[in-house]
Amino acid sequence: MDTKIKGLSRAILILSAIFLAANIFLPIWKIQLWAPQYPEGLALLIYANKLAGEVDIINGLNHYIGMQTLHAENFIEFSILRYILSFFVLFILVTALIGRKKLVYMLFTIFLLFSLLAMVDFYRWNYNYGHHLDSKAAIKVPGMSYQPPLIGYKKLLNFGAYSMPDIGGILFIASVLLVLVVILIEKNVFTKLFKRKTTTTVATVLLVFISFISCSLPGPRPVKLNTDNCDNCKMTLTNEQYATQIVTVKGRQYVFDDMACMVGYTKSHAKGDFLNYYIADFSHPSDFIDVDHAVLLQSDSLHSPMGGNVIGFENRDSAHYYQTKLNAKRVTWTELSR
C-alpha cells in the first residue's frame, strides 16, 4: 500500500530541488589545464547552456594539434539541458507536495538513470573531442590522442589536465543523494542502523553533505619536502612548519617556504585571482589553516628559511604555550600584508 512520506522527507526534497535548480545558473563541470607557459592555468567551465572560461585560448592551442574548436552551438545538450533540469526540479517539488512513496522511488530511479546517461554522454563527447583529429594539423604525434579525463588528472603533452565537478556539479550530486536519503528515511534504515531518532540521524547526514560541499571547494594541498619549490624565491621547501600557500579561484595552489615569501608574492602580483591564504599549523604541519582563522606568532627566536619568523596555530592553547616559550608577539595577516 502506498503511503505518505514524513514531513522531514518533504523538507529534504525541497532542499534537493533548490540544489538542483542552482545547476541552471552555476557551472556544472570544469576542466583545468596547466603548463609551464600557463602557470595560472586555463579553465573550461561547462554550464547548462554555454561554455565559459578561456575558451578562445584553448581553441587556439587545440588548433595546432588538430582538435575541434569548442562552440556551444555545436552541442545539442546546451539547448535542452536547462529544460531537463527544470523538469527534474518540478518533479521533485511535485513529489514533495503529493508526498507519495511510490513517486519518490520513481523520481530516484529516473534521476539516477539520467545522471548515468549524462556521464556516458560526457565521456562520449570527451572521446570524440580527443580522438577525431584533423589530419592536416601542424603538430602530429603518431598514436597520440588528447582525450580529457572524465574525472581526475591526465597528462596531455606538456599540459596537466584536471576534470572535476564545479559547484553546480557538486550540488547536483548532493541533490541525488538527498533523494536517496529520503528513501532511506522512509524505509527506517537510519533508525534501524543507529537506533536513535530519525531527526538526529538526518541532521548528521545533512552535516556530512555540507562538509562534502565545503571540502570540494578549492583548498590547500600537502607540500612535498625536498621536491616543491617556493613560488617566490624558488628555493626548495625543506621545513613544512613554515610553509604557506595561496589558493586561487581556479584551484591553483602557490606554495611558499616562508610567510615572508607569501607576503612578497602577494605584494608583487595582482590579487584578483587569489581566493585564500594559508599557513601550516606549527604543531601539525601537514595541516594548513586559513590565515584569518589562525593564531599567528612572530619571534626573532625563530629561524624560518627567509627570515619571516612567523608561525601559525589552530589550537589557541598551543599558541599560548609557544608565545610564552619564544617570547613571541601576536600578529595578523592584515598587518603582515600591508
Instruction: Please give the pLDDT value at position 262.
Output: 94
Average pLDDT, the chain: 84
Q: Return the DSSP state at 222.
A: -
- The three state secondary structure string of 295-325 is EEEECCCCCCCCCCCEEEECCHHHHHHHHHH
pTM for the full predicted model? 0.60
Instruction: Please give the pLDDT value at position 141.
Output: 59
Which residues lie across from 154 on neighbouring strands? 161
Instruction: Please give the pLDDT value at position 70.
Output: 77
Rounded mean pLDDT, 159-170: 85
Q: How confident is the model at residue 152 (pLDDT cuts 50, 70, 90)?
A: confident
Report the SS3 class of residue 260: helix
> 133 vs 267, which has greater pLDDT?
267
Report the SS3 class of residue 245: strand
Instruction: Please give the pLDDT value at position 278.
Output: 96
Q: State percent of the chain over pLDDT 70.
A: 82
pLDDT at 102 over 80: yes
Rounded mean pLDDT, 117-138: 77
Q: How confident is the model at residue 326 (pLDDT cuts 50, 70, 90)?
A: very high
Relative orientation angle of helices 167-186 and 198-215, to the nearest 10 degrees: 160
Report the SS3 class of residue 212: helix
pLDDT at 113 over 60: yes
The closest of 206, 210, 262, 211 to 233, measured between CA atoms, is 262
Instruction: Please give the pLDDT value at position 137.
Output: 60
Least confident stretch, 72-86, 137-151, 172-186: 137-151
Q: State percent of the chain over pLDDT 90.
A: 45
The closest of 3, 50, 60 to 27, measured between CA atoms, is 50
Rounded mean pLDDT, 109-120: 92
Rounded mean pLDDT, 288-309: 93
Residue-wise pLDDT for 250-275, tens only, equals: 677 899 999 999 999 998 887 667 88
List the end-to-end C-alpha distance of the chain, in Å, as a whole number: 68
As a whole number of angstroms, the distance between CA 268 and CA 233 comes to 12
As a whole number of angstroms, the distance between CA 153 and CA 301 comes to 42
91 phi, psi to nearest 5 deg: -60, -45
Instruction: Please give the pLDDT value at position 134.
Output: 63
> 187 vs 199, which has greater pLDDT?
187
As a whole number of angstroms, the distance between CA 32 and CA 164 comes to 9
Q: How confident is the model at residue 105 (pLDDT cuts 50, 70, 90)?
A: very high
Q: How confident is the model at residue 128 (pLDDT cuts 50, 70, 90)?
A: confident
Instruction: Please give the pLDDT value at position 81.
Output: 93
Q: How confident is the model at residue 151 (pLDDT cuts 50, 70, 90)?
A: confident
> 160 vs 44, which has greater pLDDT?
44
Instruction: Dig out the grid coordinates for 245 from the structure.
Output: 600557500
The closest of 166, 121, 165, 129 to 147, measured between CA atoms, is 129
Residue-wise pLDDT for 211-256, tens only, equals: 655 555 567 888 888 989 999 999 999 999 999 999 887 677 899 9
As a whole number of angstroms, the distance between CA 306 and CA 235 comes to 10
Rounded mean pLDDT, 53-73: 76
